[in-house]
Amino acid sequence: KQEVTQIPAALSVPEGENLVLNCSFTDSAIYNLQWFRQDPGKGLTSLLLIQSSQREQTSGRLNASLDKSSGRSTLYIAASQPGDSATYLCAVESAGNMLTFGGGTRLMVKP
Amino acid sequence: NAGVTQTPKFRILKIGQSMTLQCAQDMNHNYMYWYRQDPGMGLKLIYYSVGAGITDKGEVPNGYNVSRSTTEDFPLRLELAAPSQTSVYFCASRAYTEAFFGQGTRLTVV
């Protein structure tokens, strides 16, 4: 059974800091990994998707990396802003077309 | 393009009542999913479908049922609602890679 863990569960940083969110998974036989953003009381918005054959993906100030062999992914946010405050979730697609989610990291960026 | 549409947005049920949460997508995606999210937690998979007529259990299927008669619709049925089913329910769909989510249904069972 695939299990996904995100560390830290919560993070508070001052505006302008660069930060890293971590995601680990137990079964390295994944098809892809996706990072989502969730604002309070809202649905999930896809940020980045990394295929199993890729090592990283970038979108603006966001960079996601994938090390499938070690079962890890990181989401790097450069020059954080208060508008980045949200919960960030990672999800992996494994055999059986299932998406398994981590518990999320709640990020607060203080002005 | 509406994407994934869930109805209703909010609902209060009494213990023992039944209801159907609706989910529709207009992207012709084969894969559809139902998740629940408890406060401060990640998402747990209830049921999923890889195409019309095909459904399968996820991690927490007890107390729920689904059907997939068309590509577009994937309703979730709650029979005999219990307080443990108080949660936010999300529907998602995807073609081969990126998943798209609805805005969620907040359900309270009292």
pLDDT digits (tens, 9 = 90+) for B27-46: 999 999 999 999 878 899 99
Cβ distance B99 to A101 less than 8 Å, yes or no, reads no
Mean pLDDT, rounded, for A23-36: 95
* Closest-CA residue of chain A to B48: A98
Q: In the prediction, which pLDDT does B1 show?
A: 60
Residues 52-71 of A with CB under 8 A from B: none
A102 CB contacts (<8 Å, ≥6 apart)?
A: A4, A5, A6, A23, A89, A90, A91, B42
- Is the pLDDT confidence value at A96 over 80? no
Mean pLDDT, rounded, for B50-64: 95
- B92/B48 Cα distance (integer angstroms): 9
- Bridge partners (DSSP) listed for residue B31: B94
User: Chain centroid to CA A27: how far?
Assistant: 17
B41, B42, B101 ranked by CB distance to A43: nearest: B101
User: Predicted confidence band at B52 (pLDDT cuts at 50, 70, 90)?
Assistant: very high
**Residue showing tokens 């953003």:** A37
- Is the pLDDT confidence value at B98 over 90? no
Asked if A44 reaches chain B (Cβ–Cβ under 8 Å), the answer is yes
